[in-house]
Structure 1
């Protein structure tokens, strides 16, 4: 999967999530997706290569980085809690979709209950 496909898949997945918003708080070169004002996905170019930056459980992040050359520590983010997804042969559309949903669910779980959007049961774990 090349970088533009990573970006397109991430955007489509994020846009379908309950309560997700799309903003440009850091300028036009950063697409930022939030849930209840909290970031769960950033899209930008690292130098000239489209990437997706996502929140991730630290243990999962470590395993993903070991298993996939296309996944590195979070660009401009906490390297333990965020990952960067590059367009590489070992990165599939299904993996990008799963990572976007997991990032969203992690951020959503950290919100006060009254600010959490209701999610369908098939989206993932409940919280």
Structure 2
């Protein structure tokens, strides 16, 4: 739904619209915006919102769900803990020379773990 063609069509029809932007876009559009509940209007428990000044010809309504933020944080911590355990197991395997026999095997496994860390960071 969120495409420049769709937005253009909606504007041509002089219609109003609301679209959710992907979280990754917040860095592009909202890099200078403080996203804290202190600067926002409380809508209900754990939900805050504020209108932002026009950016790139677009008007944004910024919403913050503090419960979702906490859930995301806990999930990240869980993933980091799981990745740490995998790295510890890899290190132990290298010390005991059990499962991983060559340097290339160790590097491949470390690369897989590294990609898991990157995935966690991009998701949150």
TM over 0.5: no
TM-score band w.r.t. shorter chain = under 0.3
Q: TM-score by structure 1 length?
A: 0.23
Q: TM-score by structure 2 length?
A: 0.24
Which of the two has greater strand per residue? 1
Compare relative contact order (CA 8 Å, sep 6+) and give the higher one, 1 or 2: 1
Larger radius of gyration: 2
